[in-house]
Structure 1
Amino acid sequence: MLEKIQPYIDLVSNNQNYRRLWLSQIVSNFGDWFGILAVYALITRYSDSEFLLGLIIVVKMLSLASFSPFAGYLTDRFDRRRIMIICDLLRGLLVLGLLLVVSYDTLWLAYVLTALQMMLSAIFEPAKTSSIPNVTTREELVDANVLSSASWSIIFTMGMGFGGLATAWLGTDLVFIINAISYAVSARFIYRAVIPQEKMSQAELKRTRNPLTGIREGFRYLFDNPQVLRPTLAKGCFTMLLGGLTYMLILVSEDVLMMGSIGLGLLYSARGVGTGIGPVIGRRIFDRERDWVRAMGYCMMFGGMMYSIVGMTTSLGVMLLFVFIAHAASGANWVMSTVLLQRRTPDTFRGRIFSTEWLLFTLTQSASVMLASWILENDWLGIQQTMIVYAFFLAVAGVIWHLTVTRDEEAYHEKNGEEYVPAHSRTAERF
């Protein structure tokens, strides 16, 4: 057992810059997941509308999506370390603003503050993901992403579990204060890290001084390089249906299990544990990177089949098991697509590519949640019926992926050899 986790122990022990970036992720993620149930509780306290509950998720996703192209431009053009620190501090202030939501008449403020918080997250996330290859060696990169994913999942599990209890027992105000403090601690860890970054040339800086030019060049690079475009599509295709399924877990806890925040905390904890274990399992099953694009299609099909079972049962134990398995597939898909993008994209374009990935991810998730909430609001289908329909089409999406994207990837490898190793894959020296 120790041999299996030793590479991750060595990575955290020996690479202090990755360790600080990783610790900032742990702290801020805990605050986020600890606080998200408090936001849901705030909405359900002052409104019993399923549509308004779904709308907060859509507002989050659309805010991320609308700002993502500009965010990618910023993270490629300016110092990512400084950008992440500023984003953390501002997000902490915005979370404290949620203390002002005290009635139905002030509920709109939760949506505005959440939108602004997500705009800052749209900058922070591509900056963080783009920085990981610059604080690790090529050999450490996969371990770093698996560890980041596993940590996200553990913190997700703990944050959601404790968050559900804290929201019920301590109230939303204290939860928001803890969330704000987590952002300040995260900023401190990033401040202490050295994060190398390949700078744009003076000619490129001058050419892209107009943000629209820089954004346009990022999209052009993506479509001119299909080997980068393919993994960019993976998360968006998955969450096109998984987003609605995850949203429906909120309603399953309320209306099927009749367990409220505690039930949701358990379901989301199963989701988190699965997301963490999935990349480790996926790496062992698909040990060659050239097989990872094919594996993404398998993950979609498998996730759909597992959620169909969730939609057919009223047993908490069965739901926890199959939510866990479905999100293990999702976690494997996430890490494989992230590593391929980090390897295949030059540093000066990485922020724009990851922000485009976020754009696709958030748009498809928003559409997925909005459609599900609209179906349920109008009583066209029940919660579990809607879940089964979504699960079926997720499996179909995996089949379509195999007939299109996987075939293109295999043709690419046949043309270019066993493994794709870009000329720009040099990593910065560790400090």
Structure 2
Amino acid sequence: MDQSMVKAGKQYRKLFLAGVVNGIGDRFSSVAILAMLLQITGSGFAVGITLAIRLIPFVFFGPLGGWLADRIPRKSILVTTDLLRIIFALSFLFVHSKEELWIVYLSSFFLAAGEAIYSPARKSAIPLLVNKEQLIKVNSLEQVLIGIVLIGGAFSGGIVSYIFGAHVTFWFNAASFLGAAAIISTIKFPENKRVEDGNKFRKEAQLAVLKKIMLMSAPVLILLICEVLIASMNGIDNVLISVYAVNEFQLGDVGVGLFYGALGIGLTLSYSIANRLRKNFLVTGLVCLLLEGASLLVLSRIHVAAFAFLLFCSVAFMSGIGNACFDTILMKEIPEEHHGMMFGLLATIGNTILGLSMFLSGIALNYLAPRSLGLIGGIAYILISVILLIVISSNRETCKR
């Protein structure tokens, strides 16, 4: 760990390490599952169903995860969900033919349900473990975590599965959940006071709380709108990354791995800038969103694979800085007793809209060329950022957040 990580706090370092272990194991397994489905069925239909199933649980379990995070100790939630997911991670070992595909669908649902509960609890735990002054540094490290998982998981998972077989990745995933639970069990959370404070709000309706938070903070309202708009466009990127690699640049599965690796590199490098920021997080995040859109726009026009790789790095680099800025604003602006609820709500909204966006993007590819759809996505990012920058420019105090 670097010196910045040491400063971020010993307890957060454990949370970070658990996230790396947990994330890489899950990515390893995900790649192997999709490859296994293609081998068994010979069709992408089962893959599409599995991807859709992974998003559905967030609609129901995301709000539940946020509600639980504000009321019971985070450690209990994180350790329990990791341990329970071991059972479903190992269930894929019993899939050998089309007759056992129901196991894939059922286990994928419950693994995603566990993540939907786990995610808001983990995110709302971060402000408990570090000082407010360290939030931007820690949130930039969270982007590094995602980058490490993409490089070490998505990129390497296919190689491991190809050499050693899918069953090895399933055992590895189960072991990663166990290892992450063991690490988290050693974290000392300052929970007691927070739980007691959260009890005061048990009888307050979540919609009423949401309305109160939105009215008290213009940056939160702007970011909620931004999250919805970005999620509606993210589906285009998720669909096109594979299409670009396979159909446009003729790189096959290797290209998919390379482009995902580029995203991981970009997110990891974003730490070098994001951790140095001290103010103007909202404007900085929106400017990064604008530059991300510009990179996507250029990506839709170029025909050289090496340039595409660099542009994917650029997209993730800007996204990492922007995400760190936006998360820091939310953690500072939203009252701590409502962190779980808000992050659960954002996960629910984001994943639901993302799933719909991916579905519509798939349909759109029947009528539009991939590069045309990519051009539309890039322009949309630019328009969203420009409009929101104009909105906040009239409020000097908001621009400083």
TM-score of the pair, normalised by structure 1: 0.84
1:304 matched to 2:293? The reply is yes
C-alpha distance 334-170 of structure 1, shift in aligned 2 (>3 A): same
C-alpha distance 281-201 of structure 1, shift in aligned 2 (>3 A): closer
**Aligned counterpart for 1:175 among listed residues 153, 166, 169:** 169
1:7 matched to 2:7? The reply is no
Q: How many residues align?
A: 399
Deviation at residue 106 of structure 1 after TM alignment = 3.2
Deviation at residue 175 of structure 1 after TM alignment = 1.1
C-alpha distance 294-258 of structure 1, shift in aligned 2 (>3 A): same
Q: What secondary structure, in the 3-state scheme, does the structure 1 residue paired with 2:194 have?
A: coil
1:347 matched to 2:336? The reply is yes
Deviation at residue 217 of structure 1 after TM alignment = 4.3
Deviation at residue 324 of structure 1 after TM alignment = 0.6
1:228 matched to 2:224? The reply is no
Cα distance between partner residues in 2 of 1:308 and 1:39:
32
Deviation at residue 334 of structure 1 after TM alignment = 1.1
User: 5+ residue gaps in structure 1?
Assistant: 420-431
Map 1:132-211 → 2, pairs under 5 A? 132-197=126-191, 198-201=193-196, 205=199, 208=202
Cα distance between partner residues in 1 of 2:40 and 2:209:
43
Question: Contact 1:54 / 1:369 at 8 angstroms: preserved in 2?
Answer: no
| Cα displacement string for residues 251-303 of structure 1 (whole angstroms, at most 9, x for unaligned residues) | 3333334444322111101001112222432455xx343x2222232222221
Letter in 1 for 2:145: S
**Aligned counterpart for 1:267 among listed residues 259, 263, 268:** 259
Deviation at residue 314 of structure 1 after TM alignment = 4.0
**Aligned counterpart for 1:364 among listed residues 353, 361, 369:** 353
Aligned to 1:429: none
Map 1:70-85 → 2, pairs under 5 A? 70-85=64-79
C-alpha distance 252-167 of structure 1, shift in aligned 2 (>3 A): farther
Cα distance between partner residues in 1 of 2:386 and 2:201:
42
Cα distance between partner residues in 1 of 2:35 and 2:214:
42
Question: Contact 1:235 / 1:334 at 8 angstroms: preserved in 2?
Answer: no
Cα distance between partner residues in 2 of 1:275 and 1:207:
37
**Aligned counterpart for 2:246 among listed residues 254, 260, 274:** 254
Bigger mean CA deviation after superposition, 257-266 or 122-131: 257-266
Aligned to 2:53: 59
Letter in 2 for 1:11: K
User: 5+ residue gaps in structure 2?
Assistant: none
Aligned to 2:33: 39
Cα distance between partner residues in 2 of 1:102 and 1:258:
31
Question: Contact 1:154 / 1:272 at 8 angstroms: preserved in 2?
Answer: yes
C-alpha distance 108-254 of structure 1, shift in aligned 2 (>3 A): farther
C-alpha distance 407-106 of structure 1, shift in aligned 2 (>3 A): farther
Deviation at residue 130 of structure 1 after TM alignment = 1.0
| Cα displacement string for residues 153-197 of structure 1 (whole angstroms, at most 9, x for unaligned residues) | 123212222112112222222112111110110000000110112
Cα distance between partner residues in 2 of 1:375 and 1:166:
34
Deviation at residue 50 of structure 1 after TM alignment = 4.8
1:326 matched to 2:315? The reply is yes
Bigger mean CA deviation after superposition, 140-149 or 270-279: 140-149
Bigger mean CA deviation after superposition, 81-90 or 384-393: 384-393
| Cα displacement string for residues 302-352 of structure 1 (whole angstroms, at most 9, x for unaligned residues) | 212212233333432121100110111111111111111111222211100
C-alpha distance 360-16 of structure 1, shift in aligned 2 (>3 A): same
**Aligned counterpart for 2:387 among listed residues 381, 397, 400:** 400
Letter in 2 for 1:297: L
Letter in 2 for 1:27: V
Question: Contact 1:32 / 1:179 at 8 angstroms: preserved in 2?
Answer: yes
C-alpha distance 354-34 of structure 1, shift in aligned 2 (>3 A): same
TM-score of the pair, normalised by structure 2: 0.90
Aligned to 1:102: 96
Q: What secondary structure, in the 3-state scheme, does the structure 2 residue paired with 1:312 have?
A: coil
Question: Contact 1:235 / 1:333 at 8 angstroms: preserved in 2?
Answer: no
Backbone CA RMSD of aligned residues = 2.6
Cα distance between partner residues in 1 of 2:318 and 2:43:
32
Cα distance between partner residues in 2 of 1:233 and 1:276:
26
**Aligned counterpart for 2:237 among listed residues 236, 240, 245:** 245
Q: What secondary structure, in the 3-state scheme, does the structure 2 residue paired with 1:195 have?
A: coil
